Homo-oligomer: A and B are copies of this chain.
């Protein structure tokens, strides 16, 4: 075994970074045995050096991350700063100085993954990022390596813990969105500004990364259709229950039937209670992967948090250090298929639509005609009426999303339709 240690620069020392530092210290012997050489925390770059950091030698702390990367003895950099800058520049600097990188930065990888991968490849270095998607759940490595001999056709996952916590609360207590959000905030599951979570931006970034891995193609953040879950109501949950469903915010990545294009989207959807994703509670994450040979796989675990994310970072650190010792590099970006990403209108899915309608004869016929005119086949209709008011709940068969939204637009124009109370996609047959 080599005795000269591999040197690690830790960029960022917040919730995740401090856990990484703690585990590197407390489990140093295990890491040494698993890597085949000692690994040493050689420097910690932070914004606020005055903050007390338990267990971290103050002599290692610096505010000058760039100087740390340039000093010449660093083997691996761990980037747990988050956000675009300065993370992007620092990762690029690392590659320029022969330093492999482990990153937990989903926003950056979703936005600039291609350029960063290219920089790593050109320098013959590793860029690992298991922690960027679904926290502790091994997902990037299984999809990139275990399924490397298979063809992934579909990925459907709960990749945001905050929104799953809120939706689970709404489901189990009958609470409305605001009430459930307030509880999530009080318990620390939601941030003061929950926009990135509840509007689906966080999930969309993960969806872009996963789609790239699943389909060996490049999927940009802008390619991901995104709908948040702030409009999901207690009434929607009641409707879902009547259908034997619950509601989850899902990231769904699909290969088209002809294999020539892919789609990527994030939106709330009803899924049957019998689907494995339906029983994912609280802030847990889970990702369902359908591959041609492997069949249906699911990966489940904590999608966020300091220690779980640190676990994923350290797994990558061990791999990257092993590669360094072997003078090899792990698999880089695989984007050889270059499949186009189709717009949301091309996605084939099902709709659950609640309409407020006039309670008079002929309404159902008129509604049914509208569906037929748009080529959308109806699966079930439930009609409920009282006091001249009535509601129609229509569940469709699978149809292109464009045809479904065209139908809804036409329904809104019917005299007999007083309003469209809710529209939700139905997934997971």
A216 contact from B23, B34, B136, B295, Cβ within 8 A: B34
Taking CB as reference atom, which chain B residue is nearest A329? Answer: B326
In the assembled complex, how far is the CB of residue A189 from the closest CB belonging to chain B, in whole angstroms?
Answer: 15
Please state if B298 and A294 are interface contacts (CB–CB under 8 Å). Answer: no
- Among A33, A141, A145, A298, residue most surrounded by chain B Cβ atoms (within 10 Å): A145
Q: Which residues of B contact A151 (CB under 8 A)?
A: 27, 30
Q: Mark A318-357, 1 if CB is under 8 A from B, else 0.
A: 1100110011110100101100000000000000000000
User: Hey, which chain B residues are within 8 Å of A299, CB to CB?
Assistant: 297-300
In the complex the two chains form, is A31's CB within 8 Å of B149's CB? yes
**A317 in the interface (beta carbon within 8 A):** yes
Q: Is A58 an interface residue (CB 8 A)?
A: no
Q: Decide yes or no whether A367 CB sits under 8 A from chain B.
A: no
Alpha-carbon gap, A142 to B296, bound state (A): 17
A313 at the interface (CB under 8 A from B): yes
Determine if B148 and A314 form an interchain contact, defined as CB atoms under 8 angstroms apart.
yes
Cβ of A138 within 8 Å of any chain B Cβ, yes or no, is yes
Determine if B293 and A301 form an interchain contact, defined as CB atoms under 8 angstroms apart. no
Q: Is the CB of B145 within 8 A of A315?
A: yes
A311 at the A/B interface (Cβ < 8 Å)?
yes
Q: Is A227's beta carbon under 8 Å from chain B?
A: no
| Chain B residues with CB below 8 A from A43, complex form | none
**Contacting residues, chain B, for A147 (C-beta < 8 A):** 138, 311, 315
- Asked if A130 is at the interface of the complex by the 8 Å CB criterion, the answer is yes
Task: Tell me if A308 is interfacial: C-beta within 8 Å of chain B.
Answer: yes
A137 within 8 A of B: yes
Q: Is the CB of A150 within 8 A of B326?
A: no
10 nearest A-B pairs in the assembled complex, by CB-CB distance:
A149-B314, A138-B146, A138-B142, A136-B294, A294-B311, A293-B311, A148-B318, A328-B328, A297-B301, A298-B300
Can you list 5 A-B contacts with CB-CB less than 8 angstroms, sorted by A residue number?
A34-B331, A138-B297, A149-B314, A150-B314, A299-B299
Extra 12 A-B pairs, beta carbons < 8 Å, given A34-B216, A141-B146, A295-B301: A23-B150, A136-B297, A138-B142, A141-B142, A145-B315, A145-B319, A148-B314, A148-B319, A149-B316, A293-B308, A293-B310, A294-B301
Q: Which residues of A contact B (CB under 8 A)?
A: 19, 23, 27, 30-31, 33-34, 130, 136-138, 141-142, 145-151, 216, 276, 279, 291-302, 305, 307-308, 310-319, 322-323, 326-329, 331, 334, 336-337
